[in-house]
Structures are given as C-alpha cells and as structure tokens.
Structure 1
Amino acid sequence: MTAPPAPGPEGRHLMGALSSFKRDSLSLITELQGYGGIARVRLGPYLVHQLTGPEFIKHVLQDNTDNYRRGRFYQGFNLFMGRGMLTTDGAEWRARRDISQPFFQRAWLHGASGVITSCAEELIARWEGPAERGEEIELVDEMMWLAMGVLSRMLFGVDLRDRYAELAPAVRFSLKAMILTGEVSQMLPRWVPTRYRRDLRRHQAVLNGVMDDVIALHRAGGGDPDDLVSALLKATDAETGRSWPDRQIRAELKTLFMAGHETTGCALAWTLYSVAQHADVRRKLEAELDSVLGDRAPTPGDLPDLPYLRQVVDESLRLHPPIWVFPRDVVEDDVIGGHHIPAGTTLLIPPYAAHRDPGAWESPEAFDPERFCPAGRGPARYTYLPFGGGARRCVGYYMALLEIQFTVAMLVRRYHLSLVPAQQVTPVGLVSLRPARGIRVRLVKRGA
C-alpha cells in the first residue's frame, strides 16, 4: 500500500503557491511549518516537499543521502558558478572537494588568520572618516568589501577588492538571476534578445574575466605556489590523468568566490545589526572582549576564552542563516514521516523556518544568545543547521565562523554601531538571506 501524501495547502489555481513564493518566499516557508515537520506544496510545475522536522532532515542529509541530488533548483547556479563543488554530486563533487578541503582545515586557517585581522584593521581605518563626520554607512556593502578581501587574499593570493567596483554589480545581479522564480525573463529561450539576457552575459563576462586573470597570474608565476589556485592548477582528471582545463578551474574559483564571500558578508551584517539592536548584548560582549583582548587583535587561541562572542554569532546565524534553504531533487520514491515522496519531485530544507520552530526553540523570534550558553545542552541535532549537515555540510563553515568572530570582536571593540532611525530592515530570500534594502548605520568611537 502506497503511503499517503503529506499535508499542505491546496492552492487556488494551477500554479499552486508559486505567486506567494515569488512575492515572499520567507513568509511562505514559515507558514508551511504550520503543517508540521513535513509539508507538500505545488510551485507552478514543481511538486515540492518542505522538511523542517529534525528526524526528516537527518534522513535526507545523512541516512539516505544518495537518493537526493542538487537538482533543478541549482540549475540557475550554473549561470554564474559553472559545474563546481556546489552544483555537482557523487564522484565529480568528491574530486572537487578533495582538492579544496585542505585549505579549510583548522590548522591551515589558523595559520592564515592574520589575513582576517589585517582586513578588519583596514576596515576600521576606512571607517575613521565617516565616524568623525557622523556620516551614514551601508553595512552590507561594507561587509561584502571586507569578506571579498579575506576570501581572495586567503585562498587566491590576490586582493580582489581592487576590482570591487566591477565585481559588486555582477554579484548583486547574480543573486536574483540564480534563483528560479518563474519570471518571464528567466523562462524565455536564451536566443531571445531581451535586456535581461544582455545584462546576464555582461555580468557573466565580468566574473569570468576576473577569474581568468587570477588563473593567468598564477600560470605566469605571480601567485603563491601553496595557495588554492595553485592546487587547482596541479589537479588532474582521475580517469585521463590530464590537467584540469581552465574552464573547470574557473568554475571552482567562481563557486568559492560567490559562495564564500557573499554568505559570510551577509552573516557579518546580520550579526552587527543584532548587536546594534540590543544594548544589553553589546555591553556584555564589550566587557568580555575588553577583559580578554585589551587593545590587541584576536588570535585563534583566544576563542575558547570568548564564549559569549560565539553565542552572539550562533544566535545571529539562527535567526538569519545566510543560506536560508537547501534544495534537493528526489532520485527514487521514498517515504518520510509516513508520507510518500515521489521520484522527480523537489525537497526544500529551510534553516530559516527550522530555526523558528516553536517546538525546538523557546521564543524563537527573540534574539537571545543565552540559548547557546556553554553550560546548557545546546540545540538538538538538525534543529540548528546554518551550514547544512551531513557529508555536504559547507566545506568553508569554520573559515566563516573564524572570520565572523574575529571581525565582530574587532569592530565592536572600536565602534558603537547605531541604526539609522525609521528604516525598515527586512530579510529577503535570494541565493543568500540579504536585507532587502540594506542596513544603514552611524558609527561612534567607543570612549568618544
């Protein structure tokens, strides 16, 4: 006997909840949680199941992982990333991961962590003028500038902030273009000469050109022989023994660049926004930082002595996970929670909704770092997954945590960030979870 379908909204027309998803995807996934840990919904031509129950998420990400692939919702990612570590599966994915993984191990990252403090010091100096003049700054742009510098210097051996003016518009365009929303501009054939297609090709060319320049620099001996780019240049195909072509190397660099700096920049912006909103949190954090660090920059050895800093970061990642949803396509029929999951359909695992489950979190909409107190039990497994889970957990998760903690520590010790009044800070689900209209703040030096 076939298992029954999962519960979910019926939808008032053939397109189901697609219009709601396009209008406000975050509200829709939050509403779907009302059906329990699994919900069934139609998004236009796609039958989708949303999973927020921890035992169901574990089934997909850990227990039966071979039955779930990246799938159709990742097709748009190929527009700007190509076939890299994020968009591939199986042996192809493992080959890419195995080359990159050594550069995300703790020992290597600790040795390179001076790049983070150097970039943070440059940002502090960059903020001196606006602080003295009482000018507003746009926090998301500033965090992207910093994160771009950290990632490119640490992994690529070059500082791509020199090309920030051309890269930033390409990144902003890609955040919308990579998500399949059902917009007419996305659905038309590629040969139709629309403005969207012209803009798409122009921004693709910018990103490809920058990565090609990084590859050319290393081929000419201008890079670090021990960095990630050099490792990719030495990579060979397991079957043919041939070196990777530049197209394949470029796809990996684009993936690391787009996924690495964008998500960390968003996480930094949301964390500083949360600290600025809560004076009691800021004061407690300042006291811990002053006690442990004094006037110096943090080192990896300081982190065990900064538990409240980590609690603040963890709570920010709970409320505002940079990757708000993980899509998967179903390879073969399955049963989850007693419900039939048909082959060829799509699963959505949304940390944004799972992190707001009232069954797993007390007062889930409140910003409360104390819920991550080291003396407590901590969140149950798969109720908290800002970096995913299982074998496909984000390879750069520890680099992101290191960068966020170091940067928050250095900026909070130097400045009070004051939110500009009367602005509406609303999250929107693009590739990452971004503030729809940015976050405007003013800076005040501590002790001024």
Structure 2
Amino acid sequence: MVTLLVPLAGVLVLIVGTVLQSVFSLFRNYLVARKIGVPVRIIPFDHVNPLWLVLDRRVLSMVKLLPFGLGNNSFTRYNYRGWEVPDRYYSHFEMGDAYILVSPRNIWLYIADPDAVMDLWRRGKEFPRDTSVTAVLDIFGPNISTAQGAQWQKHRRITASSFNDHTNQIVWSESITVANDMLRYWCSKGSVQTAADDLRALSLHVMSRAGFGKSFKFQGHDERETSAPDGLPLNYKDSLKIILENCILIFALGRKFLANPWLPRKLRQVHAACASFQTHLTQVYNDEQASLAQGDSYDRNFINSLVRASQDQEADSTLGGGLTESEIYGNIFTFNFAGHDTTAHTFTFALYFLAANPATQDWISEEIRHVMGNRKPDEWLYSDFRRLKRCLAVIYETLRLYTPVPTSKIVDTQTPQILKVGAQSLILPPKVIIVPSYASLQTDPKYWGDDSLEWRPSRFIRSPSSGTGKGIGPLLDAEEFLTPARGTYLAWSGGARDCVGRKFSQVESVATIASLFRDWRVDPVPRKGETPDAGRQRVSNQIESDSAPVLLLQMLHPEHSPLVWSQR
C-alpha cells in the first residue's frame, strides 16, 4: 500500500506545483498588464497551449452549463480558438481600441485602430511577427512563416521570386481544368453533400500542379479511395492530404513520437504520410538539382523556381546565400499548407454564401459571361483575370467576414516600446504579443457601414454613375474595384510580412468561381416543407453558427446542408 501511495503523492505534488506556478505567473502577468493602461481580462489557459488546443471546446461546453450565470465570463468568452469571429467588434465597442487578455504564459494586446496597425506593420524590427503561433509549420524545416530578422529576409527574397506570372498562369489554367471536372461531377449527382471535401481536392490538385508540376485527374468524394492499403506507399497528393488533416495532432505529439510502432493504426498512417511526403520532397529536389546541373529547361512550377532562385542567391555572395535543403522543404510544405487549407476553406464559405444569395450569383454570372463570351474554358486567358472584378469581390467579402489565418506581433526587444493607439501612447514591455483585431476592423460599422455584418460583395465595386447608351458591356468594363482603407482589411496580413502568395490565391479563386458560375447556379436542397427562401436563410444561419477553427477557421459541417446545381 505504501509503495502505491508514494508515486500517487508524487503526481499530486506535481499537479499542485503546476497549478501554483500557473497562478503565480498569471498574477505576475496581470500586474504587468495593468500598468499598460487599457482594460484587462483574465483567461486561465494560453491560446497556443497544445493540450488546451485539444480540450478547449469540450471543457468550455461544460462550463457554459453552470447555473446562475456562472458560465458567462471571460473564460468562456475569450479562452477558445476562434473566439474573435463571433465576438466581431463587440469587445472593442465595450472596451475601446485596445484591451488585453492575460494568461499565465502571455500578455495579449488586441488593437482595433487602423493607424496603430499600419504603424505596427512599418516597425518590423521593434515588433517582429510572433512565430509561436506558426510553429506548427516547422514540421519539415525552417520556413518563411517561422523565420525572423535576416533569415526571414533571405526566405522572403528567394520565395517571392517563385511567385510570378509564370506560376500564376499555371494556377489559372489548372484551376479552370479542375473546376470544370469538379462541376461535371457535381452535376452528375442529384445533390452534393461533399462540396467542402471536393473543394479541398481541387485546391490540392492546383497546388500539386503549380507546386510540383504534377497533375492528377480530379475524382469526386465518392470516386476516391479513403486510404491506401497497408504497406503501399502514398503518392504526394495523398500524403499531403493526410498531413494537412492532422496538423494539430502532429504539432501536439511530434513526428518522432508518431514513429512509435505500438501506436494505433490511424496514428501510424499519419507517420507514414509524413515519411512519404518527405520522400517525395527529396526526390523532386534531387531531380531538380540534376536538371539544373544539366542545364535543362524547366516548367517554372514553384519547386523548380525555388531551387533555381536559391542556387542563384548562393552563387552571388552579396545576397547572403541561398536556402538549405531543409529550408526548401520547409517552404514547400508551408506554401502547400497555405495554398491548400486557406483557399479550400475560403472556397467553401464563398460557395455557401453564394448558395444563400441567388442575386449575387446572377451578378457575377453577368460579368463572367461578358468577359468570357462563348469561349470554351480551355480558351480562357490569364489576362481575363484582371477583368473579373466582381468574382474577386466575392473572395474579398468572404475573407472580410471569415479570415482563416490571423496574425500577431511581439515586442521582441529588451526595452519597452511605445505604440500609439487612438489618443493613448501605450508603453509595452518586452514579450507582449500584439494582435491586430482583424475580426473587429473588418466588421466595424465605422469602416464598413451599418450592414457591416452582412455578406455583400458589391461593397467592393464602384459602378459608373451613368450609362453609356451602348449596353451593359461598357458599364461592366468601367466598374472599379475598391481597395479597402489602409489598416481596415487584414485578410492577407500587411506590411513587409504580408502574404507572399496573395496573387496566387486570388487567381485560383477567381478562375474557380468563373468556371462554376458562368453557366450554372447552385441552391440549397430544400428540406421537407421548406420554401426556397427558408432554405437559403437556413444556410446563412449555418455559416454563422457552424464555423470555428480546427487548425484554421472553417465550416465544421457543411454536409448538413446539401447543394444542388442547375444550368442557367
């Protein structure tokens, strides 16, 4: 009995010690936060705590059930992934342009002043990016999302050269091809419950072609194998798919732990996917090195451009050298992740918004028909992209309300930094994390009007004040895309560390929307006794109530609202 009590006592001491240390750290951080001079709210767990990432929703769903209003507090309001989306601008409306969330580990300063955000972007040395939230992307090596200082400048210089119009032309053509294959699959079904999964497949196909020069035939959800048989190697596309679906698991447990042979089959499959993807990266890298040595021409896909740009930098001693093999792998994975998950989730939101808004479908179809005319999809030109302003507005408006990737900065100096927010000059001590409140800035009525919480893509388009008397065509050509006011739209971040793949994602999105909506329309499948308008309202309600981060912000159960396609 005594031998049993000894280890139990040790565990108890460890638990008590951990709790006491957390309480002490929380109190210490609270005292520091109070001195900054803005409202402070306490949360017991840090947002990036790996264990809390797994448990947050389960724990808070039980806490919210407490009686007498005990479940309505800062813990349940702020201490879970994605709380910013339902909160929108309300916390800033209550507390002003700046407030703090304090946890045992960190002090998080949230700001909703556009001028302060722009100042933050400009002062990259005093306020570098907080890379703790992007650490998950180091799975295969250091990369642009996790590098700092001179290392980041090297990553940016080399990777930016790989995002060019040659790559975008590949993205344009592949997006059109795959989107039309996907549309044919959807139209062959009476109703579609797998739109989100199929859109992920589309995005993965585009990344495969643009990133690796590998094209795969599109297969709808019902046409695909759910997993590879044991013992058979996974191809690049399937390996990446498994990794992206299990990023949080890999981040929490680590690749080395997942290699243990005694783990359940599903975890072993995740490890197999990591190993297989690493093999594919190495093979493509070695092939490109050999091709480069022989002076062969190349496809100008992302990995080709990245390897060659890195070699050019290595040869020029004045530029600080090229990327290591590990860094090339890390950047390839990062751009696969960013170009796949973020785009796929945005596609899903946009598709369901369009299904709930038939008038907007008509609005974009009018533009697509004007620009593309009767040309077949394989005759569409990359130069058509810039004319599809309404299609681009659909993506901008979707990202305004549902930005999948927030960003944050950190005071990374040994001395306090001053940041002016509104009328206040805040003295920020080292290690304070600063978060531009994207969900507030992008929905605040001060910047977006009284309908700021409504999905209305036309807010990004300025139409001519009068007609030309020559039909609709000249009016469409004369429309202008309205760039949001500086500091009020953060979907692609900002400053020097804005999203290097911004144009890539825009081209893919616009090409896909144009392919789907020139000749077709989409509607929710009505439930028994449900009117079409009621079905659309149900879908709108689901977008709002059923969206939350898994790794990124996404619709959790879009399959609960099947869609049906019909020809115009």
TM above 0.5, yes or no, is: yes
Correspondence for 1:318 among 397, 400, 403 = 400
Name which one, 1 or 2, has greater alpha-carbon Rg: 2
Cα pair 1:52 1:354 within 8 Å, conserved:
yes
Does 2:547 align with 1:427? yes
Between the two structures, name the one with larger relative contact order (CA 8 Å, sep ≥ 6): 1
Q: Secondary structure of the residue that 1:286 maps to in structure 2?
A: helix
Runs (5+) with no aligned partner, structure 1: 179-184
2:498 and 2:567 mapped to 1: Cα distance? Answer: 38
Cα pair 1:77 1:87 within 8 Å, conserved:
no
1:433 and 1:159 mapped to 2: Cα distance? Answer: 28
Following TM superposition, by how much is the alpha carbon of 1:58 offset from its aligned partner in structure 2, in angstroms?
Answer: 0.7
Aligned to 1:71: 130
1:3 and 1:335 mapped to 2: Cα distance? Answer: 16
Q: Secondary structure of the residue that 2:83 maps to in structure 1?
A: helix
Counterparts of 1:388-407 in structure 2, within 5 Å, are 388-407=493-512
Following TM superposition, by how much is the alpha carbon of 1:415 offset from its aligned partner in structure 2, in angstroms?
Answer: 2.9
Does 2:321 align with 1:233? no
* 1:244-288 C-alpha deviation (Å, 9 max, x unpaired): 543222112111111122222222222222211111111111122
Change (3 A) 1:311 1:24: closer
Change (3 A) 1:364 1:176: farther
Aligned to 2:364: 285
Following TM superposition, by how much is the alpha carbon of 1:381 offset from its aligned partner in structure 2, in angstroms?
Answer: 0.6
Counterparts of 1:2-401 in structure 2, within 5 Å, are 4-11=35-42, 20-22=78-80, 24-26=82-84, 27=86, 30-34=89-93, 35-62=95-122, 64-74=123-133, 76-105=135-164, 107-109=165-167, 112-113=169-170, 115-159=171-215, 163-174=236-247, 178=251, 201=271, 204-219=274-289, 221=291, 224=298, 226-234=300-308, 235-236=310-311, 237=314, 244-296=323-375, 297=377, 298-323=380-405, 325-332=406-413, 333-336=416-419, 337=421, 338-362=425-449, 363-374=451-462, 378-401=483-506
| Comparing 243-252 and 388-397, the one that deviates more | 243-252
Between the aligned residues of both structures, percent identity stands at 18
| Comparing 205-214 and 11-20, the one that deviates more | 11-20
Q: Secondary structure of the residue that 1:366 maps to in structure 2?
A: coil
Runs (5+) with no aligned partner, structure 2: 1-32, 47-72, 218-234, 464-479, 527-537
Following TM superposition, by how much is the alpha carbon of 1:414 offset from its aligned partner in structure 2, in angstroms?
Answer: 3.7
1:165 and 1:226 mapped to 2: Cα distance? Answer: 23
1:275 and 1:14 mapped to 2: Cα distance? Answer: 38
1:150 and 1:272 mapped to 2: Cα distance? Answer: 18
Cα pair 1:120 1:146 within 8 Å, conserved:
no
Q: TM-score, normalised by structure 2?
A: 0.67
Following TM superposition, by how much is the alpha carbon of 1:355 offset from its aligned partner in structure 2, in angstroms?
Answer: 0.7
1:174 and 1:227 mapped to 2: Cα distance? Answer: 25
Cα pair 1:130 1:137 within 8 Å, conserved:
no
* 1:311-359 C-alpha deviation (Å, 9 max, x unpaired): 2222122112232x10222113222222222211211224233211222
Cα pair 1:144 1:261 within 8 Å, conserved:
yes
1:152 and 1:7 mapped to 2: Cα distance? Answer: 47
Change (3 A) 1:311 1:245: closer
Cα pair 1:418 1:442 within 8 Å, conserved:
yes
Following TM superposition, by how much is the alpha carbon of 1:430 offset from its aligned partner in structure 2, in angstroms?
Answer: 4.3
1:306 and 1:54 mapped to 2: Cα distance? Answer: 28
Amino acid at match of 1:366: E
Following TM superposition, by how much is the alpha carbon of 1:44 offset from its aligned partner in structure 2, in angstroms?
Answer: 3.8
| Comparing 126-135 and 366-375, the one that deviates more | 126-135
Amino acid at match of 2:205: G
Following TM superposition, by how much is the alpha carbon of 1:70 offset from its aligned partner in structure 2, in angstroms?
Answer: 2.9
Backbone CA RMSD of aligned residues: 3.5
Aligned to 1:181: none
Cα pair 2:411 2:431 within 8 Å, conserved:
yes
1:254 and 1:428 mapped to 2: Cα distance? Answer: 24
Following TM superposition, by how much is the alpha carbon of 1:49 offset from its aligned partner in structure 2, in angstroms?
Answer: 0.6
Cα pair 1:173 1:203 within 8 Å, conserved:
no
